[in-house]
Chain A
Amino acid sequence: MSSELVIKDLHASIGDKEILKGVNLTVKPGTIHAIMGPNGSGKSTLSNTIMGHPSYTVTSGEVWYKGQNILELDVDQRAKLGLFLAFQYPVSIPGVTVANFLRAAVNGHRSVEGKDPRETQIPMAQFRKDIREKMAALGVDEAFARRYLNDGFSGGEKKRIEILQMSMLKPSMAIMDETDSGLDIDALKVVSQGVNTLVQANAEMGVLVITHYQRLLNYIKPDVVSVMMEGRIVREGGPELALTLEERGYDFIREEVFGNGN
């Protein structure tokens, strides 16, 4: 069973507007794969579609992971298969504390169909210990555990909480959608360290990092860099491609791919 993420000719629309226009992409196990691309090129649409957001309709194509076409799975099944999406814009859920949310998420991952949840749930003491450790490692104040999820959190706090969730759930395939946006310089280091710790602990883990800035890639070092434009992956290269983009912008690629527009 391959823990490669393989995206084949994926087309997806919102309403009758096609946004993904044939995405082909493979994220190999144990690799860090960066996607860069201009605003509106479809990066978030791609990550949401992989995860199963109900607003996006897949019109054709496949997404394979661990031997399954995951487009056929419910959203929570995809998560239980090991996929994790760190959202570009995490929602706030009033009335649900960070601790209760995380416990439900951990227990959701541990649940087995047909089995009494009481048998599979994480023991409370172990959960408390885990969350304390992970919060400390990510520099998240313990008081956050009792706050309502993302309710009134600053942009950077939300991003840290996304990575806190990732550390607790230990996905085998993580998609990080602009996790660096909103993080201050110190937070960027702490969060990157958190991600690297997870990667080091699991040699099979794949990471898809969406970012606009080379800076994050100094901390989370990509093996592959892909460029997305107008709903397609139009270039693939090594880490040096990110540096080139930082220097030259997207115009030269646009010209190569689409001609000079005339």
Chain B
Amino acid sequence: MATKLPAIASLSAADVLVATEPAWLQTWRQQSLAAFAAHEMPYWRRTDLTAFAFADMQLSADLGTFKIGADAPPGVIVMPLSQAVHDNAALVQAHLGSAVSAKVSKYAALNAATWRDGWFVYVPKNLESTLPLHLIQGFGAGNTLIARNLVILERGAHLTLVEQLHGDGGPYSNVVSELILGDGATLKYTAMQTWGAAVHHVGHVVANVGNNATIEWAAINTGALHQHIEAETNLVGNGSRVDWMAATVAKDGQRLLTAPWLRHVGRSTEAHMDFKTVVKGTGYATFDGMIKIEGGSTDTITRLEEHALHLSPQARSDSIPGLKIDTNNVQKAGHASTSGEVDDEHLFYMQARGISKDEAVHMIVMGFFEPVLDRIPLESLREQVTAAIAARI
């Protein structure tokens, strides 16, 4: 007889602890479990919480699948996080939970208490890796994937990384990625959510960026039925930078939300955000963003653009940008936002050149996303995403 799997609504320490794990981690899990119990349900103003009800979730026996798309670049340490807690205990202990703490929310606490695996990526000091590292996470047969990734770039390290959530299964997925960038590090990061059409996905992705470090972040979201991603860039270091783009396509029935937070903490930090959304049919996408310029941040440059393209009248997109400035030393702060249908003048121009209306719409959408897709470091992945988008429009 199969053992009954623990229901998430009533987790106990016995369900959560792994006997072979080091003591510090067991303590950490127990604290996280306590935080999970103590948290109220979150107030999610645009995500349907019933799609993420704990009553429907249980821990899975199957831990999910973790694959590397191509060979890991030389010198970069890549291993399952479950192994890294033994082999690289000091690093994991120092950084685990430093970017996404169990305090953040009930779902982050759940992840901290119950994750079973994920990726550990470590780029040693001054190693300038250029080959893309492609990490793929998928579902096993279970009902819930709870995975956790920890990416550490030491001082002066460079990495090109693609994290992809791909495949059918679930329906529940809860994935945390912590990205730690040491001083002068550069991370080119592509986060792809290409889950199957029935998945309910909660994500927390947070980057802590050191002095003069840079993250180029491209998020691509085409899959899942429900998506609630809380993403955050903390420009902690002086002279730190983020160039942050996103492409989201929501078609019939999909409800995809991204809540990006950007914090300017250090001096002379610079951020460019360009978030793009296409909605079709009854698709619904939300941009729920916040830019915060902290008191100590001076000479700050920040620019936010968000644009939504509606391919049908019932489709919906919400944009809720927020800006909070606690310093009086901002160099530049700008915001641009558009939302609307495909421009008739564009369609007319293209059709006047013999291009059919369908093809014209396709080209306009692809052109709209071009700067984001251009960031995908692997040709095969770019093709995969292009096809996924084409199938949705």
Contacts and interface: CB of A to CB of B under 8 A. Distances in A.
Interface of A: 51-55, 74-76, 78-80, 84-85, 87, 90-91, 93-96, 100-101, 104-105, 108-109, 111, 148, 165, 169
Given A76-B357, A101-B363, A108-B359, A95 B370 contact: yes
Contacts of B350: 93, 101, 104-105
A54 B344 CA distance: 8
A74 B358 CA distance: 13
A74 B363 contact: no
Interface in B312-366: 343-346, 348-357, 359, 363-364, 366
A97 to B, nearest CB: 9
Nearest to B276: A95
Q: Is the interface of B mostly helix, strand, loop or mixed?
A: helix
Contact of B354 (A53, A79, A93): A79
B367 interface: yes
B377 interface: no
Nearest to A90: B349
Contacts of B353: 76, 79, 101, 104-105, 108, 165, 169
A95 B369 contact: yes
A84 B369 CA distance: 29
Contact of A91 (B346, B355, B369): B346
Given A75-B348, A95-B368, A104-B355, 9 more contacts: A52-B348, A52-B352, A75-B351, A76-B354, A100-B363, A101-B353, A104-B363, A105-B354, A109-B354
A55 B345 CA distance: 9
Contact of B351 (A76, A91, A101, A111): A76
A168 to B, nearest CB: 9
Contacts of A90: 349
A94 B355 contact: no
B253 interface: no
A169 B355 CA distance: 12
Nearest to B355: A108
Contacts of A76: 351-357
Nearest to A85: B352
Contacts of A51: 348, 352
B356 A108 contact: yes
A55 B355 contact: no
B339 to A, nearest CB: 16
B371 interface: yes
Q: Closest 10 CB pairs between A and B?
A: A95-B367, A108-B354, A95-B370, A75-B351, A79-B354, A105-B353, A96-B367, A76-B351, A108-B355, A109-B354
B356 A87 contact: no
A46 to B, nearest CB: 15
A233 B363 CA distance: 38
B264 to A, nearest CB: 28
